[in-house]
Amino acid sequence: MALSSPGIGSNLDVNGIVSKLMSVEQQPLVRLNTLEASYQTKLSAYGNLNSALSTFQTAVSGLTDLSQFQNFLATPGDTTIMTASATSSAVAGSYAVNVAAMAQPQTLLATGQTSTTAAIGTGAASTLTFQFGTITGGTLTNGIYSGATFTQDASQASGTVTIDSTNNSLQGIRDAINTANIGVTATIVNDGSAAPNRLVLTSSKTGATSSMKITVAGDATVQGLLAEDPAAVQNMTQSAAAQSASVTINGVAVASTSNTLTGAIPGVTLNLLKIGTTNLSVARNAGSVQTAVQAFVKAYNDINSTLSSLSSYDPATKKAGPLLGDSTVQTIQAQIRRTLSSSLAGLSGSLTTLSQIGVSFQRDGSMALDTTKLQNAITNNFGDVAGLFAAVGKTTDSLVNYSGSTAKTQAGSYAVNVTQLATQGSVTGNLDLNVAPNTVIAAGTAINVTLDGISASVGLTAGSYNASQLATMIQSVINGTSAFSSAGSSVAATVDATTGFLSVTSVRYGSASNASMTSGTGTAVSTFMGGTMTPTVGVDVAGTIGGMAAVGSGQALTGVTGSTVEGLKIQIAGGVVGARGTINFSNGYANMLNSLVGGFLASPSMVSSRTDGLNSSIKDIGRQRDELNRRLVTIEANYRAQYTALDVLIGSMQQTSNFLSQQLANLPKISK
């Protein structure tokens, strides 16, 4: 076997020859690299498109909220007296407001103790029961009531705290009350006297209904320290009375348990800061509408600019966008423009196109805003501007309210027909409490309550109650039970004026609404409900929307899947069965664009299909490149083998030629 280094034998440039031959063989690889680069450029362009569409969707989705276009401004003349805010349900107007009194909580002081850590009482288990309500009548002298009446507030839950040998110090009682989180804050104040440490209890809520009644069952010393009944024995001293805010609005007296007034002026919330008189102006927030429309125009112009730059050709620079002629970009651009150029269906107002509020297309495809025309639309048709952008449902029946819709809900005017109203679950006794003597609830009484499918043991507050007081107490303790309150369930307890029967009714509507009670410990349920209790399970509303089936859940009717009203949700808040007017529904441009762009960004979609195809093509090029590289290695090896052999052969031939030349040169010498 001959050994050779390329070119050594013959001076043949084997490396140069092979390099030139391989450059020819590598032309398909160059073409693959060029094609891959073009795919990568398009893939990057689609990434930019996807990002731009996502940004556009975020912008328009923020404009689907009606409140963006229906804001009101509430402006007080003196912000040191109060601040104010307004919602979309407010009504423009001017109001004279006089704050005569601020709401405040009740504060009670216990008798002073020499130590904060010394044991109080024997340590026997004691139960503190806190009730909240209103103190009326009588007189108040040095913090003690005489001849007064305490009426419990049914809307405020009662609370209990256990005091025993582990916490029967002043600090322990303070900490136990605060930990219980029952609407009372406990602190200790040192007044500098011989027995300086005084427990201070302050109701967490303000208002006349936040006065406390504290019942203590157990240790006599604890009872002597903390028992507080404004209508009877009072072992604590009131240092501040529970008080409601007193306000006059345009001459009308208004009382509020809180310094935050909601509902006194429709759609307006007043935050009282101090006593005084000021003016309040409530006006449409035209600035927020203009800002929202300007944001809409900018969002469109941004996405239009991106689409144009990706698909345009600049004759001056002779440069084309990476997606020039791409059908996906053309389709997206056309669908967005078509959506914005069409009139909205389903609107009951006078505004149905963007041009009516000064938004128009320019020759270059961008949008422009005529602010003067927009301001005129806001001034003359303020309530209709929102319908151009957000999904809006307007009903003709005041007890039928639009609640929501989906992307599949179609615009239109739909008749509402109710065949069954929603009802609440309840349980009603058969004992006439109006003629019976006061009902006595023994200490330690607990009943078993099932509410909306949730069961829990509920402790009743011991005492003697007339019919109204009993209903108030039962409502309060049930609503204060964490098993129910954490699930959003509550009841209303009432006594029928005619029959005297006690009813406990779930505040929830529909088939999930129910209530029942059974005896537990202590006083039997029959003591206040009678021998027979009648439970009633709630039913869901039933009816149709636009003559099409709707699913009832509580008071809500929702259009069924596959219908033109799919996802359209309305609340039937009462009224009668039968025809209930119509609901005019429109999607709004921002809402339609949000759904349209969501489809572009979904998977699968036009954009995802194109990016998937490009990624697949790039992977295929990678496979072709790998195969070609493997072939080129073999081809180069073959070329080198061939030209190396040629080099060896030529070298051998040159050696032979040299030998023959030498021999021939010697022939004359031999001849001589």
pLDDT given at position 391: 87
What is the rounded distance in angstroms from the CA atom of residue 225 to the CA atom of residue 126? 12
pLDDT given at position 556: 97
The helix/strand/coil state of 591 is: helix
Identify whether the C-beta of residue 522 lies closer than 8 Å to the C-beta of residue 441: yes
Which tokens hold the place of 306? 């991106």
Which tokens hold the place of 587? 């999607």
Angle at 224 between CA 221 and CA 229, to 5 degrees: 145
Which tokens hold the place of 660? 């023959």
What is the rounded distance in angstroms from the CA atom of residue 323 to the CA atom of residue 13? 47
Q: Per this entry, what is the length of the chain?
A: 672
Partner residues linked to 575 by β-bridges? none
Strands ordered across the beta sheet of 197-203: 184-190, 197-203, 107-109, 237-240
Q: With b meaning 16 or more CB within 10 Å and e meaning fewer, what string describes 205-215? A: bbbbbbbbbbb
Q: Hey, how many other C-beta atoms are within 10 angstroms of the C-beta on 166?
A: 11
State the DSSP string of 372-386: HHHHHHHHHHHHHHG
- Quote the pTM value: 0.75
Instruction: Kindly give the parts of the chain with pLDDT less than 50.
Output: 1-4
